[in-house]
């Protein structure tokens, strides 16, 4: 099997190398890919949509229908991971049992079945069964960095019109900030800040914002995802309306991508149990 696979792969590679002889030279400005459709985008996008970053304009406006279904694919992947891994059986009596650490001394207590800490004690904190050392430096450093990462993510989403960036990148960075929080603290703290239910609702909300914008254009007399129809509603001229429409859609994409990234991490790191994680 191994030899056969290697042979097949080498044959495949040889055929591809033979195919490259018909290719245009690397970096040729007059190659077929550069001469048919893309000149229209390069020459008209700034005039049509008032967005200097051509990639953003093409992504969310000219090919908006395409991007809508890419968002739907991400939504479906998040859903599939949830269905595959999520375990809903949580034993009630083990809620209070587990390992606890005394904050001041670092002594670890094990609370068995049926046992519980005295109510109102703040000196103990629950820790994961796979022992994670308490690291003040990592926690403090991550807490200091986190707001800036989140602010940068919002900047990337909002400034996608003028610089590299947009909904996908901003959403992933925002999700990565929450994942960093989960790694530096623990999964339970993160689940308190960003419950699982909220990520699931946000995933749907993001796709809904995207599709809703399209349907709104339809209701206002334009075509599906033709943001120029929003001009009357936003009180601007049709060109600026397309620019604003791109921003609305990018925010939807960012919310969906952020929620899916966090949801995927929750499910993978805790194997669907949502109690102990990485």
97, two tokens: 């049992």
Q: What angle do CA 21, 26, 30 make, to 5 degrees?
A: 95
Size of the site for other proteins (CB under 8 A): 76
Among 48, 165, 229, 274, binds other proteins (CB under 8 A): 165
CB of 88 to other proteins, least distance (A): 15
Establish if 141 lies at the interface with other proteins (CB under 8 A).
no
Establish if 260 lies at the interface with other proteins (CB under 8 A).
yes
C-alpha distances in Å from residue 171, one per residue of 70, 144, 246, 258, 262: 14, 20, 15, 4, 10
Cβ neighbours of residue 268 closer than 8 Å, sequence gap 6 or more: 81, 85
Q: Which of 143, 144, 148 is nearest to 184 (CA)?
A: 143
Residue 112 · residue 93 · CB < 8 Å: no
The binding track of 93-132 with respect to other proteins, each residue x by CB under 8 A or -, is: ----------------------------------------
Residues 41-70 contacting other proteins, CB under 8 A? 41-43, 45-47, 52-56, 58-59, 63, 66-67, 70
Question: 32 vs 120, which CB is nearer to other proteins?
Answer: 32
Question: 5 vs 91, which CB is nearer to other proteins?
Answer: 5
Give the HSE-up count for residue 168: Cα atoms under 13 Å, Cβ half-sphere. Answer: 11
Residues 173-192 contacting other proteins, CB under 8 A? 173, 175-176, 179, 183
Among 48, 101, 157, 169, binds other proteins (CB under 8 A): 169
Q: Which of 171, 255, 150 is nearest to 213 (CA)?
A: 255
Residues 68-87 contacting other proteins, CB under 8 A? 70, 73-74, 77-78, 80-81, 84-85
Question: 84 vs 119, which CB is nearer to other proteins?
Answer: 84
CB of 143 to other proteins, least distance (A): 18
CB of 220 to other proteins, least distance (A): 26
Residue 150 · residue 177 · CB < 8 Å: yes
C-alpha distances in Å from residue 102, one per residue of 57, 126, 140: 55, 9, 19
């Amino acid at each position: 099997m191994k030899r056969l696979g290697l042979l097949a792969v080498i044959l495949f590679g040889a055929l591809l190398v033979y195919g490259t002889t018909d290719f245009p030279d690397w970096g040729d400005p007059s190659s077929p890919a550069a001469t048919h459709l893309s000149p229209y985008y390069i020459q008209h996008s700034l005039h049509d949509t008032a967005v200097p970053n051509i990639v953003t304009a093409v992504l969310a406006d000219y090919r908006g229908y395409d991007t809508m279904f890419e968002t739907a694919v991400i939504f479906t992947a998040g859903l599939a991971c949830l269905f595959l891994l999520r375990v809903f059986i949580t034993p009630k009596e083990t809620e209070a049992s587990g390992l606890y650490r005394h904050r001041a001394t670092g002594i670890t207590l094990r609370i068995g079945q049926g046992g519980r800490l005295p109510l109102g004690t703040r000196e103990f904190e629950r820790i994961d069964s796979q022992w994670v050392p308490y690291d003040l430096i990592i926690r403090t450093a991550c807490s200091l960095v986190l707001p800036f990462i989140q602010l940068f993510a919002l900047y990337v989403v909002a400034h996608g019109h003028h610089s590299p960036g947009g909904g996908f990148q901003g959403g992933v960075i925002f999700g990565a900030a929450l994942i960093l929080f989960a790694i530096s603290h623990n999964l339970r703290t993160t689940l308190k800040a960003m419950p699982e239910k909220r990520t699931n609702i946000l995933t749907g909300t993001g796709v809904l914002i995207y599709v809703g914008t399209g349907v709104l254009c339809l209701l206002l007399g334009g075509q599906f995802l033709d943001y120029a129809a929003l001009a009357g509603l936003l009180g601007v001229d049709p060109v600026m309306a397309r620019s604003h429409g791109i921003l609305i859609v990018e925010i939807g994409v960012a919310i969906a991508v952020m929620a899916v990234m966090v949801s995927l991490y929750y499910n993978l790191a805790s194997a669907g149990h949502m109690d102990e994680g990485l």
